[in-house]
Every structure is written in structure tokens, then in C-alpha cells.
């Protein structure tokens, strides 16, 4: 910006007579957002320049995941109460958030293998594999594995939150309940099943979704719900794929810092489907 532009801007700001400048007794933007602790939470363990990138990318992703969990929980409650429109708004927001965290991998991928090696040992056994918020997202979508809980025994408060989510119905469980409430025949045992068991599919659910998609005008809300769920699973798989390729690009097939098989583990989870009937009906229609 040249001197003339700066001068013009200063004159314009002087015309804004209502701008508050005295905050000795009032809350500021920084106060409201708790910026001081937030911006002082990037504690590098090495002197390497790129460790700041590594920390911030993961912290930002955790913040986005916190919002995904907030929206998913709200959507689950709304569907249970038959309030579909608010649920759709929340699920649409989740899809937009997912786009943000997918793109974050492109930023992290600007770090080369040689650069990462300069501080990787400082991480010890810490790994994104241990992200409890990511596990809460998986639980909300219905993917629950008991061995995961063992990771969090050191943190009893977090473990309790995870256990509660582990036993709670997923968004697909409440979607199946919504199908039944609409009068579509669903296996009775599914409606009050053990929600800690990973759902593997059911013929009556497949038939119900097929009816919905063949009678859109009659089941418009359920049709929209099905498509919102497909959007979310599609984006989650894109996130998983970008995660896998970024890891492969930076560390190849090395074992992860958390002890997982790294790229090989990330490839395996790509095969899991959260909402199987919604994908199978594409072929059945």
C-alpha cells in the first residue's frame, strides 16, 4: 500500500466517529476469543521452522472437529425429536467444515520429508491416532472399536466422555429410527439394539431406504436426510484419503509415532462404510 493509499485510509477511519477505542472497562475482541492462551499454545519442542506449521495444522483441525462434534450432537437430538430442518442445517454445516479440514492437508504437504525428520523424534509416542475428538466423530457416525478406549485410560475425564459416546446411538441409528417412525417396516431389534456394536447392515433398512428414494415426494425429509449422510461420509473418506497420501508423501511407509502401521493402517480404514444401505441402493435403484 503506497503513502497516498495509507493517508486516504487514515482519513476514512477518522470519519468513523463511533469506533470504540477505550476498553479499560469493556471486553475486547481478544478477551472474548481468549486469544492470549490460544496464540500462546504453539509450544515447539525443537528449533525447526516447520514445527510451527505442524502444530498449527493439527490444532486448527482439532478446533474444526470440536465444531463438527457440536453440530453432530445437535443433529442427532433434532432427528430424535422429529425436527428435520434444523438437523439438515447442522449436517450441511458439517459438510462445509469437512472441506476446511480436507484442504488443511494441502498446507501440511508443503513440508518435505527431510524437514519433518528434523523434529519428528521430539513427538515421542504422540500421534494424531490418539485424537479423542476424531474418535468422538467416528462414534457419532457409528464406527466403534473397544480397543481404542484403552488409549485414554491416562485421562479419566476424556475416557468417560468417550464411553458415553460409545454407548450412545449414532446418527445412523437415529436415522433408522426415523425410518420406523415414518411407518416403514424395520426389524424391531434394531430400534433398541446395543449401540456400542458396529452396525453391519439389515435387509429391512435397505428396503426402507429404497422405498424412500423411489417415493421422494412422500418421504422428502427422509430423502434429504439420506443425502446429507452420504455427503458427510463422502467428505470423511476424502479426508481419510488426503490424510493417507499426505502421510505417504512425508514419511512413506514408516511406522507412525503412535505405533500404528501408518499408511497401511490408513488404507484399511478407507474400506469401512458408515451407512452401507445408502451406498448399496445406488446400484439397487
For 94, list phi and psi in degrees, rounded to 5. Answer: -55, -45
Residues 51 and 45 sit within 8 Å (Cβ to Cβ): yes
Q: Is 243 annotated as a binding residue?
A: yes
**Residue 116, annotated as binding a ligand:** yes
Q: Is 241 annotated as a binding residue?
A: no
Q: Is 29 annotated as a binding residue?
A: no
Task: Determine the Cα–Cα distance for residues 73 and 70; give it in Å rounded to an integer.
Answer: 5
Find out whether 139 is annotated in a ligand binding site.
no
Task: Check the annotation: does 76 bind a ligand.
Answer: no
Are 263 and 244 in contact by the 8 Å Cβ rule? The answer is yes
Separation between Cα atoms, residue 235 and residue 98, nearest integer Å: 6
- Give the largest CA-CA distance in the chain: 74
The answer to the question of whether 58 is labelled as a binding residue is yes
> At a CB cut-off of 8 Å and minimum separation 6, what does 73 contact?
140
Is 54 a known ligand-binding residue? Answer: yes
Q: What is the DSSP letter of 131?
A: -
- Buried/exposed 158-191: b ≥16 CB within 10 Å, e otherwise: bbebbeebbebbbbbbbbbbbbbebebebeeebe
Answer yes or no: is 49 a known binding residue: no
At 225, list the grid cell: 436426510
Helices 171-181 and 132-141, axial angle in degrees (round to 10): 20
Report the C-alpha dihedral over residues 101, 271, 72, 217, rounded to 10 degrees: 110
Orientation angle between helical segments 132-141 and 51-80, nearest 10 degrees:
30
Count of positions (residues) in the chain: 285
Binding residues: 54-58, 116, 120, 243, 257
Binding residues for substrate: 54-58, 116, 120, 257
Binding residues for heme: 243
Amino acid at each position: 500500500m503506497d503513502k497516498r493509499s495509507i493517508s486516504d485510509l487514515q482519513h476514512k477511519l477518522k470519519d468513523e466517529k463511533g469506533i470504540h477505542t477505550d476498553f479499560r472497562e469493556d471486553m475486547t475482541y481478544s478477551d472474548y476469543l481468549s486469544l492470549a492462551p490460544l496464540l500462546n499454545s504453539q509450544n515447539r519442542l525443537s528449533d525447526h521452522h516447520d514445527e510451527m506449521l505442524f502444530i498449527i495444522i493439527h490444532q486448527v483441525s482439532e478446533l474444526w472437529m470440536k465444531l463438527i462434534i457440536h453440530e453432530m450432537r445437535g443433529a442427532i437430538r433434532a432427528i430424535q425429536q422429529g425436527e428435520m430442518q434444523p438437523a439438515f442445517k447442522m449436517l450441511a454445516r458439517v459438510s462445509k467444515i469437512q472441506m476446511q479440514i480436507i484442504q488443511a492437508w494441502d498446507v501440511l504437504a508443503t513440508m518435505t520429508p527431510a524437514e519433518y525428520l528434523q523434529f519428528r523424534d521430539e513427538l515421542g509416542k504422540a500421534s494424531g491416532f490418539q485424537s479423542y475428538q476424531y474418535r468422538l466423530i467416528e462414534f457419532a457416525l457409528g464406527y466403534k472399536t473397544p480397543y481404542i478406549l484403552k488409549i485414554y485410560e491416562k485421562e479419566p475425564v476424556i475416557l468417560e466422555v468417550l464411553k458415553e459416546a460409545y454407548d450412545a446411538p449414532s446418527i445412523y441409528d437415529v436415522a433408522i429410527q426415523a425410518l420406523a417412525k415414518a411407518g416403514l417396516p424395520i426389524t424391531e431389534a434394531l430400534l433398541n439394539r446395543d449401540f456400542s456394536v458396529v452396525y453391519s447392515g439389515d435387509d429391512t433398512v435397505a428396503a426402507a431406504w429404497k422405498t424412500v428414494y423411489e417415493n421422494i415426494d412422500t418421504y422428502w425429509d427422509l430423502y434429504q436426510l439420506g443425502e446429507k449422510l452420504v455427503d458427510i461420509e463422502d467428505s470423511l473418506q476424502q479426508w481419510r484419503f488426503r490424510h493417507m497420501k499426505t502421510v505417504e508423501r512425508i514419511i512413506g511407509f514408516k511406522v507412525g509415532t503412535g505405533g500404528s502401521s501408518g499408511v497401511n493402517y490408513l488404507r484399511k480404514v478407507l474400506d469401512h462404510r458408515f451407512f452401507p444401505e445408502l451406498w448399496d441402493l445406488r446400484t439397487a435403484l
